[in-house]
Structures are given as C-alpha cells and as structure tokens.
Amino acid sequence: MVSRVERGPVADWFWTIDRLFLITFVLLMGIGLMLSFAASPAVAERLNLDSFHFVKRHAFFMLPALGVMIGLSFLSPRQVRRMAMLILAASLIMMVLVLFIGLEVKGGRRWLSLGSMSIQPSEFMKPAFVVICAWLFAEHARQPEIPGNLFAILLFGIAAALLIAQPDLGQTILIGSVWGAMFFMAGMPWLWIVVLGALGGAGFFGAYMTLPHVAGRIDRFLTGEGDTFQVDTAREAIIRGDWFGQGPGEGIVKRIIPDSHTDFIFSVAAEEFGIVFCMVLVAIFAFLVLRGLSHAYKERNDFNRLAVSGLVLLLGVQSMINIGVNLELLPAKGMTLPLISYGGSSMTAICVTAGFILALTRRRPEKRAQERSLFRSVAGVPAE
C-alpha cells in the first residue's frame, strides 16, 4: 500500500486516480480473456490452428495494452492533448497509406502490414480525434475569435472521408455520433444542428445508393432476405443460452458463428453464461458512461468536460452498436466490443481511450480547489 504522506509520481497517481474507473477497465479486460477461452477455439480449429491460438494472442496483447493504459493515466491534461495530437497525425497518415498499400480484407482496406504484425490505424484515430476536437471546441468557447468549431468540422470531414474511402461506414457513424454530441455540449447553435443533421442524412442516403455492401446490409436487416446466416446464428445462440446459460465450454451454436471471437462474442457470452450475465456486462458499460458523464458534469474546465464526455460516449456507442448487431436491433456491422473482443489494434486503442479517461478524471490540486470554491459559493460560506 502506498502511504498518503509519500510524495512522488506513483504515490500521487495512486491517491488521485479514479480507482472505480481503473477497476472497471481491468475487469472488462479479464472478462474478455475469459470469453476468449469460450469463443476462439472453434474459430482456430476451423483455420487449422492450435485450439488456443487466439487465446494466447489475446493474452499477449493484453499486457502491453494494460501498460499503455497505465502509462497514459500519468499524463496531465496538457500532455494528453499533445499525445493525442501525435497519435492523430500518425494515424491519419497511416489511413492515407492504407488506401494504397493496405491489406484488403472482406472487400475493405483497413489494415496496414508492419512486418509480422498488422495495425488498423482508424482504431487509434478515434480517441485522438475526440480529444483534439474537444480542445478545438473548448478553445472556441474560451476565445470566440479562434475558429475552433470550423477546424473541428474540417477535421471531422477529413476523418470521415478517409473512413468512407476504406470503406468503413460503421466507424464513420460512430465518430459522427460522438462528434455531434460533443458539438452539442459545446453549445452548437440550432442552425448548425439543422444543417449538419441534414448533411448527415444526405450522406447516409448517398452511402446507401452508392455502396452496394451498405445497401445489402440494410436491405437484409429490413427484409430478412439474403445471407443472414451470421446474425441468425448469433440470435440462436442467445436464445439457447436462456437466463443462466449452458455453462462454460458447453456452447454448441458458437462453433458455427464465423466471427464468434470478435464481432459476435456477445452471443457466445449469452449461450454459455446466460442473459443475466449479458445484462451485467451491459450494466458495466452503462456504469462507465454514466460515471464519465458525472465527472464531466462536475468539471469546470471546458476541455476536460468535453474530452471526458466524448471518450466515454465513444466506448458507450461502440458497445451499443456491437450489442445491437448481436441482438438484431441494428444492421450487421463489423465492430468489436470494447476490451472484450479479440484484436490487438482494438484492445490497444481502447486502452488508449481508457488511459486518457483516467488521466483527465484524476483529482488534481487545482481541481480540488475549484470544487471547494464551488461548494462554498453554493453553501453561502465566505471565501477564506
């Protein structure tokens, strides 16, 4: 145990970190490893790999990802901005390279080969994009003569264009939703809301009309016709799990779900551990979002408020999309369940997001002084 009277980076970190956030992130990583044992062996066997190939790789990715999360949680808000700027610049450059030299998987170019490893730059772009947009919105609020809102719009246009070019409409909708929520919290005028909403609707309609895979997924979702094997199998797994599941290792339907270790790991969890377990999992994600928004509500610094809100919404909306697809509430979309699904880029990028959240929600001396000042003003206590 670290003493309260100690002075040093580790001691300060231990006593100022939001430990409930930290415990929740580590808990989700542990649940992800547990579900990897349930979901990935069948996939590995279909690919003629060792049964625990993906389990071993999942565990291998966890250690550096956890290190990234802890390391970033030591940063100050200014250092978070600088780190986000570096990550955003690097990821946007790699997203451009992906269009020319990226690996083509299932009709999309989203992966960049780095020797024996591959990376999905768009995953790292998301948390950095949120932080930089929060900074731009906050700077405009602080100094209206700075065109922060305009720069944020341009940045969103660049990120969205690169995602659509891959093509990846799901990630575009994800960052668009979070960006719109942040803009609204930053005081977006109603005229902007109408204009941007109309542009978003037009863009979605344009994607439906020009991108066959998007139209196909939406049509299959609305009509139930065509190749719906994966979502139908996922639904069957959920139904078979009932309230308390078939038990660890007893799942049968999971063996024929093609992406059971990534996009449809929620269905595997339902079959083996039951609907009650899945409700607990949903509650954990809801807790992260609500706790983050609670922190943001109490925050007087515009940048911290917007960045924390955007980052927790990024986790919340991504988990909502993944779970919605598993429950056939949304059209099929390949999107991981944060810290649960298999994937090195996804896990590391989510840990970047978690590290930023932990860094921005730490209790700092100036923050505690503001809280005391606010309490005194509300209580009518004269200043010291």
Q: What is the percent of the chain where pLDDT is above 90?
A: 46
What are the percentages of helix, strand and coil residues in the chain, rounded to 5? Answer: 75, 5, 25
Tokens read off for 146: 């700075």
Per residue in 332-384, pLDDT tens? 777 889 999 988 889 999 999 999 999 999 987 655 545 455 445 545 555 44
Written as one letter, the residue type at 168 is D
**pLDDT one-digit tens code per residue, 96-146:** 999 888 777 766 778 887 777 788 999 999 999 999 999 999 999 888 888
CA dist 34 and 15 (Å) reads 30
In order of 131, 158, 262, 342, 381, the CA distances from 43 in angstroms are 36, 36, 10, 12, 64
Nearest 10 degrees: CA dihedral of 184, 180, 304, 362?
120
Mean pLDDT score of the chain, rounded to an integer? Answer: 86
- The CA-atom distances, in angstroms, between 204 and each of 199, 208, 212, 252 are 9, 6, 13, 38
Q: Which residue has the tokens 């405009």?
A: 140
Single out the residue of 12, 2, 18, 14 nearest to residue 312, CA to CA: 18
Q: What is the pLDDT of residue 209?
A: 80
Query: pLDDT digits over 283-318, tens only?
Result: 999 999 999 999 999 888 999 999 999 999 999 999
- Side-chain half-sphere CA neighbours of 208 within 13 A: 11
Most confident of 70-79, 94-103, 114-123, 165-174: 70-79
Distant-in-sequence, close-in-space partners of 272: CB < 8 Å, separation ≥ 6 = 38, 241, 245, 246, 247, 248, 249, 250, 251, 254
